[in-house]
Amino acid sequence: MSGIHITDIESAINWWRERSPSPDGITACSEVRALGEVYALMVYHHESECDDRSMPAKALNAWLGWYATTPDAPCIAICSTSQGDSVCKGCGRLFDEVQNWPVMTPAEKRVTWRRITMEGTAWRFNRYVERSLEAVGQPTPAAALDSAS
C-alpha cells in the first residue's frame, strides 16, 4: 500500500495553519478541516497510514498542496546504483526506486522518503565534514568534544 503516514498529515495541517491562520483562533481554513477529519479518523482507528486512493478529494488536494512544497527526490548526485549497488549509498533508495522515481505517485515517494529518513544510513544523512575529517585521520568535532570531557 502506498499510504500517507500520519506525520505527513500533521505536517500538511501545520503548513496550512501557518499559511492560512485562523482569523479568530477557533475557525480553521477548509484545507485544515479536510485534513483534520482524515487525521482524526486515523487516530480513532489507531492507523498510522491512510490510503491516498481513498482519501476525500478535498483532503488529498490539501495534502498535495503541502507535498508540492517538499523536496522531490532525495538524490545528492552520488548514485551508487549506477555502479551496480542495489541500494544507493548517496540517497538510500533501492535500485527500483531510483529507476521508477519519475512515475511513482506522491504517496509512494513519501513512503520511500520516510523509509530512508528512518534508516538514516545514506550519505545524505551524514555530515560531510565529519566524513572528510575521518578520511584524513583527524578527529571529528563530536570526538574532539568527547575527548575534552
Task: Give domain status of residue 146, yes or no.
Answer: no
- pLDDT value at position 81? 87
Give per-residue pLDDT as tens, 92-109. 999 999 999 999 999 999
pLDDT at 3: 87
- Of 2 and 10, the structure prediction assigns the larger pLDDT to 10
Q: How much is the mean pLDDT over the chain?
A: 87
In a domain, 40, yes or no: yes
85 in the same domain as 28: no
CA separation for the pair 86, 89 (Å, rounded): 9
Distance of alpha carbon 107 from alpha carbon 8, whole angstroms = 10
User: Would the pLDDT of 146 be above 70?
Assistant: no
- Domain limit, last residue, from 45, 70, 95: 70
Domain termination site, one of 70, 91, 125: 70
Q: How many CB atoms lie within 10 A of CB 89?
A: 16
State which residues form the domain around 35.
1-70
pLDDT digits (tens, 9 = 90+) for 38-61: 999 999 999 999 999 999 999 999
